[in-house]
Amino acid sequence: MFRYRDGDVRAFELLVTRHRKAVYNFIVRFVRDPAQAEDVLQETFLRIVKSADAYEKQAKFTTWMYTIARNLCVDASRRGKHRKAASLDAPVNGEADAPALIERVADAGATVDRQAIGRQMAERMQQAIAELPDEQREIFLLREVNDLQFNEIAEIVGCPENTVKSRMRYALEKLREALEEYRDLAQAAP
């Protein structure tokens, strides 16, 4: 980031290449709309370009970047509060015969039954994550999807670390409850 601030455009290209996928995953799980996620992703990096002169070495670049992305996601979530979120099960890009997002990662070694059970469990988990409150969901996503530490998450969302851990426990508890019903099926599956 410092290289780009000093005028090295190649450094910015490297930043985009390195962080684009992780930021997109956070955004798309947060706003639950792939099209809106792309806009937010674009806006996130544009904000980074505009704010490059003001960037100081006060925190990790990822923390700064996820702070921008998270704020944009909160704004987008507020704007699309009443808008129906796109399902991860919907065909990608609106094509009828295209696979769903959830099918992009397939367990090649799993049997059909396990794939079916796993598919149902994933759907349920996605539904449970989507039903989490925003303050719990963002912490859960940042921790699970983007693998940020709790202190970094606390810095991003602007609350104490203990609050972050507390919210994380609440989110895990709800997800555990959603997962209970599939535990027997998963154990019974070959």
Count of positions on this chain that bind another protein (CB under 8 A): 53
- The torsion angle over the Cα atoms of residues 24, 64, 54 and 16, rounded to 10 degrees, is -30
> Within 10 A of 8 (CB to CB), how many other CB atoms are there?
12
56 binds another protein (CB under 8 A): no
**126, 72 contact by CB (below 8 A):** no
Residues 62-101 that bind another protein (CB under 8 A): 92-93, 101
111 binds another protein (CB under 8 A): no
137 binds another protein (CB under 8 A): no
102 binds another protein (CB under 8 A): yes
Smallest distance, Å, CB 155 to another protein?
Answer: 15
18 binds another protein (CB under 8 A): no
> Within 10 A of 129 (CB to CB), how many other CB atoms are there?
21
> 91-99, long-range: CB within 8 Å, 24+ apart, which pairs?
92/34
159 binds another protein (CB under 8 A): no
User: Phi first, then psi: what are they for 91, rounded to 5°?
Assistant: -60, 145
- Determine which residue in the list 129, 142, 154, 157 makes contact with another protein, applying CB under 8 A: 129
Q: Alpha helices of 51-160 — where are they, by DSSP H? A: 61-79, 112-131, 134-144, 150-157
Q: Which residues contribute to the site for another protein (CB under 8 A)?
A: 4-7, 9, 12-13, 16, 20-21, 24-25, 28-29, 34, 38, 41-42, 45-46, 49-50, 52-53, 92-93, 101-102, 104-105, 107, 118, 121-126, 129, 143-145, 149-150, 165, 168-169, 172, 175-176, 179, 182-183
